[in-house]
Copies of this chain bind each other. A is one copy, B any other.
C-alpha cells in the first residue's frame, strides 16, 4: 500500500485515515503553532505541560505530556519534512540538528516516524497519519497503547478547537 509516496508495510506501520470538515490551512496551523498544539495534542484529561517547535527540517519538536496525576513525560523529536498545508514529518529517532537519539533518552518513548499528510477535499480535509516503526514489536506496542483511538481522539479535539474558534 502506498500513501502519499510512502510505502506502508502493515507489519511495521499504523495508519489513521479520516476526512474532517475543517479547512486544511487551519489543520496545518493547529499542528505547527505551539499556542494551538497545547489545546489538542494529547487526549484529555492529559495535557501538554510544555511544547517547543522549530519548524524546519532538523528543527526541534519537543513536547512534555502531563498525566492527570501530574506525572510528566518528555518527548524529543526532530522535523524531517515541512511542506505547508501538505505534509509534516518528524521522528523520535533523531534529536534536533538531525543527531541520532541516544538509546538512554526517553526510554518510555516509542521509536517511530510520524507522517501527517493533508489534502484539501470538497468536504474539508483528508487527514492521514502514518506511524512508521523499526520492527513489528514496536509497531505492536504502539497499537496496544491505543494508536488509533488516541490519535483519533486528538484529531476530534483538534477539529473541535477549529469549530469553536479556538484555532482560527
A residues with CB within 8 A of B: 6-7, 12, 57-58, 80-81, 89, 91-95, 97-104, 111-113, 115, 132-135, 138
Least Cβ distance of A11 to chain B in Å?
12
Contact for A98 among B99, B113, B135, CB less than 8 A? B113
Residues of B within 8 A of A104 (CB): 135
Most chain B CB atoms below 10 A, which of A57, A100, A104, A135? A100
Q: Is the CB of B98 within 8 A of A89?
A: yes
Known contacts A57-B80, A80-B57, A81-B57, A93 near B97 by CB under 8 Å: no
A102→B94 CA distance, assembly (Å): 14
User: A91-B94, A99-B113, A103-B134 known; 12 other A-B pairs, CB under 8 Å?
Assistant: A6-B97, A7-B97, A57-B80, A58-B80, A80-B98, A91-B98, A92-B100, A99-B132, A99-B133, A102-B134, A102-B135, A104-B135
Q: 6 A-B pairs, CB-CB below 8 angstroms?
A: A12-B99, A57-B81, A58-B81, A80-B98, A99-B133, A100-B113
Complex alpha-carbon distance, A102 and B81, angstroms:
21
B132 touches A100 (CB 8 A): yes
Residues of B within 8 A of A99 (CB): 12, 113, 132-134
Q: Are B100 and A134 in contact (CB under 8 A)?
A: yes
Q: Inside 8 A of A80's CB, which chain B residues have their CB?
A: 57-58, 80, 98
